[in-house]
Structure 1
Amino acid sequence: MLVFAEVARLGNFAAAARHLGLTRAAVSHQVKRLEDELGVRLLNRTTRSQSLTDAGQVFLASCEAIATELDVVNRRMDNIRTEPAATIRLTCSVNLGLQAVVPALSAFHELYPKVEIDLTMTDDIVDIVAEGIDIAIRGGKLADSELMARSLGRSRYRICASPEYLQARGRPQKVEELGGHAWVVYTLGKRTLTLSARGQTHTLTPAGPLRTNNAASRLYFTLRGHGLARLPEYDLSPRLASGELEAVLPDYDCGSLELQAVHHRGATGSRSIELLLDYLQAYGIANAGLGGLGVLAGGRAR
């Protein structure tokens, strides 16, 4: 297959033979044998050049896909043969850590057991350069131009409540009804909430008897039936799946949060850090839906 792919790429047997270090006859023989095995003609042959038949074009696409997969496998094997070993210092907020980052790090460590992870979970903003932190996972835009950031995806916000709350207080059917409900108020960031749908925008200021500056406690209060809340996808997805929470006015857009892996410019010179950045990006922590650790899940109201 690889010989055929080279002939297709270079346009003739002679060029492919030179590139592969084979004789022209050997290249021609291998392509002919492949055609015999498949039972179709892959190349239209002239004296000086070859062109792909329709079947050849289809087969070439498959060859390229297989070559890509082989390259991925070879790189994975290289990682195993040259297993990285280092200590990576990482920080994130408490709730994001519990819901998405810790499960991702656990899975990463199973793949690369020689990479040690030193995780600090705090809701304070950490000076990663002064504190010697390699990676900080943060929400929002990067403010420090001396640092670099890799996007880990956007986590959509949605309004939700526990089934118990909705049964007791009723489910809002219109956006105008939201102001009459109790909210679990998150006191960090903007206090107003903007919702949009079908070209219309509505703004309200959530109010309620429970206010917190901590995302984990916001989730706990919501699960216990104390009111409506605006939660990010990584908090909400597993609770929707389990029935612990229900979406309210799901057709309305109420914003999203971009998660970024922030690091200083020299960090990507470390193979271990680069592997972890790639893994976090592929893992999709912004919309993890993995159930997290459930440490503060607390169950439904009783």
Structure 2
Amino acid sequence: MNNLKSFNSLIIFTEIAKFKSFTLAAKHMGLSKSSVSQQLTKLEKEVGQQLIKRNTRGLSLTPAGEILFKKTEHLNGQITNALKELNDFEEEPSGVFALSFPFFLESFVIIPAITALSREFPKLKYKLIMTDQLMDLVENDLDASIFAGNLPDSNYKVQDVGTTTEHFYLSKNSVAKINGNTIEKSIRDLKWLSVPWQKDLVLTSTNGSKKKIQLEVFANCNNLMSSLHLAENDVGLVLLPDIVKERLQKNDKLVSVFEEYKGNTWKVKFLHSYNKDKPKYIDRFYQLAKYYFLKSQLA
């Protein structure tokens, strides 16, 4: 196997595995779907093993594909970062990277992103603040912030991380309390565990119709994880963003309810205040955060 000749095929395989779609991978790389498929076939022939299963439900990695993806999942970002370093060569970054972020992004986005960043920039230190409130970068001496929700006007640079939609969850023990013929009555019979941004609840049905409902708050928590833990202990109903579904898949306490409706959809943004002389770890962290955000949603 000629490793150099296989390099492009490895990059393309990694993008297919990341997006779990030939179409999305091709679009992301600016290639045709047929070209992407041909490169994967070429790589599988070179390694002598099937890497991706194709079926009517989509794509999935074979055991060999899983092993290879674990080694290559950051390959594209590392190449991009390496080329950027050649263009603006400087000493290895040091100092403190100060970041604020919402509680619900901690486990599946922030921790893996910071872990990968620390390996690439070993001299960098960190100040990490978990909060569901928007913190002003200058007033709080922050390099960057990730925030979910509506942003006020500012001079900060804003980049998209993704979107997340809220869904209803109850503990298994509480499911028996669902009553009534309408979702409004069923919800009103339950105790609502809210967070500050869930003031105006607009439900969207699977057919696209919207309903605005007013609910009495039983417990208002300043972070999403507190409301999740209360729900796990049979206290009431909680709205959770789909970005935490990987955690919920491993959780045998909560189940999805009222699946014909969903709550609000929130835009997740990355903010920084750099106009020039931006440290390269800022761009790299954004790449990693966006990658792990997408990975959690595709889980």
| TM-score (normalised: structure 1) | 0.63
* SS of the residue 1:257 aligns to: strand
Aligned to 1:188: 196
The structure-2 alpha-carbon separation of the partners of 1:171 and 1:234, relative to structure 1 and needing over 3 Å to count, comes to: farther
**Alpha carbons 2:161, 2:289 under 8 Å: kept:** yes
Match of 1:149 among 158, 162, 186: 158
Aligned to 1:282: 291
Measure how far apart 1:133 and its partner are. 0.9
1:27-176 matched pairs, under 5 angstroms: 62=39, 74-75=79-80, 84-86=92-94, 87-97=96-106, 100-167=109-176, 169-170=177-178, 174-176=182-184
* SS of the residue 1:195 aligns to: strand
> Is 1:212 aligned with 2:227?
no
* SS of the residue 1:126 aligns to: coil
Measure how far apart 1:105 and its partner are. 1.7
**Alpha carbons 2:179, 2:189 under 8 Å: kept:** no
Measure how far apart 1:137 and its partner are. 0.8
The structure-2 alpha-carbon separation of the partners of 1:267 and 1:284, relative to structure 1 and needing over 3 Å to count, comes to: farther
The structure-2 alpha-carbon separation of the partners of 1:288 and 1:171, relative to structure 1 and needing over 3 Å to count, comes to: farther
Structure 1 segments of 4 or more deviating over 6 A? 70-73, 79-83
The structure-2 alpha-carbon separation of the partners of 1:171 and 1:75, relative to structure 1 and needing over 3 Å to count, comes to: same
**Alpha carbons 1:84, 1:272 under 8 Å: kept:** no
Based on CA coordinates, which of the two structures has the bigger radius of gyration? Answer: 1
The farther-off stretch of 147-156 and 118-127 is: 118-127
Q: In the alignment, residue 161 of structure 1 is paired with which amino acid?
A: L
Measure how far apart 1:94 and its partner are. 3.8
**Alpha carbons 2:167, 2:239 under 8 Å: kept:** yes
Q: Distance in 2 between matches of 1:157 and 1:120?
A: 23
**Alpha carbons 1:158, 1:254 under 8 Å: kept:** yes
Q: In the alignment, residue 262 of structure 2 is paired with which amino acid?
A: D
| TM-score (normalised: structure 2) | 0.63
**Alpha carbons 1:195, 1:252 under 8 Å: kept:** yes
* SS of the residue 1:113 aligns to: coil
Q: In the alignment, residue 154 of structure 2 is paired with which amino acid?
A: S
Alignment RMSD (CA, Å): 4.0
Instruction: Give % identity.
Output: 18
Aligned to 2:23: none
* SS of the residue 1:209 aligns to: strand
**Alpha carbons 2:93, 2:279 under 8 Å: kept:** no
The structure-2 alpha-carbon separation of the partners of 1:208 and 1:99, relative to structure 1 and needing over 3 Å to count, comes to: farther
* SS of the residue 2:244 aligns to: helix
The structure-2 alpha-carbon separation of the partners of 1:199 and 1:272, relative to structure 1 and needing over 3 Å to count, comes to: closer
Q: Distance in 2 between matches of 1:216 and 1:74?
A: 36
1:226-237 matched pairs, under 5 angstroms: 226-237=235-246
Q: In the alignment, residue 162 of structure 1 is paired with which amino acid?
A: S
Q: In the alignment, residue 163 of structure 2 is paired with which amino acid?
A: R
Measure how far apart 1:141 and its partner are. 3.2
The structure-2 alpha-carbon separation of the partners of 1:268 and 1:256, relative to structure 1 and needing over 3 Å to count, comes to: farther
> Is 1:273 aligned with 2:285?
no
Q: In the alignment, residue 85 of structure 1 is paired with which amino acid?
A: P
Aligned to 1:258: 267
The structure-2 alpha-carbon separation of the partners of 1:95 and 1:77, relative to structure 1 and needing over 3 Å to count, comes to: closer
Measure how far apart 1:95 and its partner are. 4.4
Measure how far apart 1:159 and its partner are. 0.9
Gaps of 5+ in 2: 5-33, 44-74
> Is 1:200 aligned with 2:200?
no
Q: Distance in 2 between matches of 1:74 and 1:189?
A: 39
Measure how far apart 1:215 and its partner are. 2.0
The farther-off stretch of 141-150 and 232-241 is: 232-241
**Alpha carbons 2:108, 2:292 under 8 Å: kept:** no
